[in-house]
Structure formats: structure tokens, C-alpha cells
Amino acid sequence: MKRTLILIANTGTPDNPAYGARKDIDDYRSFFQSDEGGAWEENEILTFYSTDEDPLTKAFLLGSILERKKNGTEYFLIVFCGHGGATSKGESFFEFSPGEICELGTLKAFLYPSKYTLIADSCRSIELLEEGGRMPAIRTFSQVVPDSPYRKLCRDCYNRIIAESSSSAYTICYAAALGETAQDLGRMHGGLFSQTLLNTVSQRIPMVQQSVADEGVFCKYVNLLACVSDIADAMAQKSGNNQHPKCECKGGVDELPFIVCPNRQL
């Protein structure tokens, strides 16, 4: 299966910064390149650090998606960290760089009919762009050992689960509910939503691995919806009940893998 991971960090401008966006993207990259995060390889990953000096344009990103689709990509995993908002009609949008706004509907149209997961750690304030939330984290993901049998098994299981999902399956995760802002704790700490999510993932992986071993099954996976549900209470508490992540899935069911844990013994 051909797949593409797109990581986008819009760090904002000096007068309107999103300090933690780059840290968030680097941390997501570390997770997705780990075995249990799907064992993504370098040639499958596009990373954009959008700055004043090197801004990412909407046309370039959408063109990159079309190019990957022409080359056979069947599944996209996109993570955006930075400024965003929502229109008066409630449609979310993302600011890739100053003046470069991409509406969610446009992005979905360019991704269709590919299967995809979209994670947006950005605000959804009505007609308002503000910075995303950040917090510190200590975590470890599996060390990347190229061409190891376990890594290959993780990739095979991850791809099989995607292949067996329904046609045009998708999952979209928002760091905040419509009308809410995503909080920011500064350059060194990353996003409240992203860091809480990745901390929970790092804690859940060994539990899933133990469950796989105890039950003697070939593989188990955890979807993004389940991971976001895990952090709902923590997000409400840490944000002062001001930030509530939401997920949207095709048919209300998340069929796509976020964590994959095959059995090392089988």
C-alpha cells in the first residue's frame, strides 16, 4: 500500500506566534516513525515548517496531495499545528501562512476518494485566528530499527487494517470544539491537545502489547477516536473546561489505525 504522511507546522508571525507548533510536529513525527505508530519511512513523509521566510502556500500543499495521488497514494495522514478558526457558518479553516487560508471542505475535496486521517491542533473560534495550546511532556516511543522483523510486521498490520476499512474511510480530529480556542503554553512545551494525546498514546502502547500477549491474538489496533476519548477528562481539567477535542468519522465509526501492536511471539 502506498501512503503519505503530511506534517505541517505554521509557527505564526512575531506579532501573532504559535510557538509550540514546531515541537508538536516533531513529536508527532517521532511517534509515527515508531513501530507502533505505523513505522512510517522517510520517503512516505512530507514535512512543512511554514515561516515568514519560507511560507507554505495553499496551492503548493494541494498540489503536493494531487501529485501523491497520481503516484498511487491510497491513504493520507495529515497533521496540522498552528493557527486556525471557523467561518460564521461553522466550517473550520487552517492558516498555512499569513493570508494562506485553506477551508476544511477544500482539503476534503482534494483528498477524496482516498482514505485519510486529519489531526488539526488549531483553534475553531468563529472568524478568529489564535494560537494552539501547548504543554510539556516526557515520553518514549519504540526505537526505530530499520528492516527489523517486528517493524515489518507493524507496517503489514497497519496497511492491512487500512486496506480492509470501508471505501473512502476518514477520521478528522479537532483539538477544540466549534467556537473554542486551543491553548498555548509556549515555544518549548508544545500543544495542550497534541502533548496530552501523545502522552496518553505512549502509556497505552505497553498496555495493548500486554493484552496482545495475554490473549495470544495476532494483532490489535487502537483508533484515534478511542485515544481522543481517553483524554477528554484531562483536557477539560487542564484547560479549565475551555477546550474539548472532537472527532468526525465516516458513518460515525473510526476504522483507521492510530496505534498498531502485533504479537511478537507469533
Cell numbers given for 166 = 470501508
Q: Are 201 and 227 in contact, with CB atoms under 8 Å apart?
A: yes
Here the contacts of 15-18 (C-beta below 8 Å, separation 24 or greater) are: 16/83, 16/129, 16/131, 17/131, 18/81, 18/82, 18/83, 18/131, 18/132, 18/184
C-alpha span between 93 and 107 (Å, rounded): 9
Measuring CA to CA, which residue among 193, 184, 158 is closest to residue 27?
A: 193
Q: Could you report how far apart the first and last alpha carbons of the chain are, in Å?
A: 23
Q: Cite the beta strand spans of the chain per DSSP E.
A: 3-10, 12-13, 16-17, 45-50, 75-81, 84-86, 92-97, 100-103, 115-121, 170-174, 219-223, 246-249, 257-262
Phi and psi of 96, rounded to 5°?
A: -70, -30
CB 183 within 8 A of CB 242: yes
Beta pairing partners, 170: 116
pLDDT in tens, 57-114: 999 999 999 999 999 999 999 999 988 888 888 889 999 988 899 999 999 999 999 9
Phi-psi region of 190 (alpha: psi -120 to 50; beta: other; left: phi over 0): left
**CATH number assigned to the domain covering 3-262:** 3.40.50.1460
Q: Per-domain residue ranges for the chain?
A: 3-262
Nearest to 134 by CA among 229, 34, 25: 25
CB–CB of 84/122 below 8 Å? Answer: yes
Q: What is the pLDDT of residues 177-192, one digit of tens each?
A: 999 998 876 666 788 9
Per-residue pLDDT for the chain (266 aa), expressed as one digit of tens each?
A: 999 999 999 987 766 667 788 899 999 999 999 999 999 999 999 999 998 889 999 999 999 999 999 999 999 999 999 888 888 888 899 999 888 999 999 999 999 999 999 999 998 765 443 333 332 334 456 667 787 999 999 999 999 999 999 999 999 999 999 999 988 766 667 889 999 999 999 999 999 999 999 999 999 999 999 999 999 999 999 999 999 999 999 988 999 999 999 998 86
Q: Do 25 and 79 contact (CB within 8 A), yes or no? A: yes
**What whole-number distance in Å separates Cα of residue 50 and Cα of residue 52?**
7
Nearest-5° angle of CA 236, CA 130, CA 106? 100
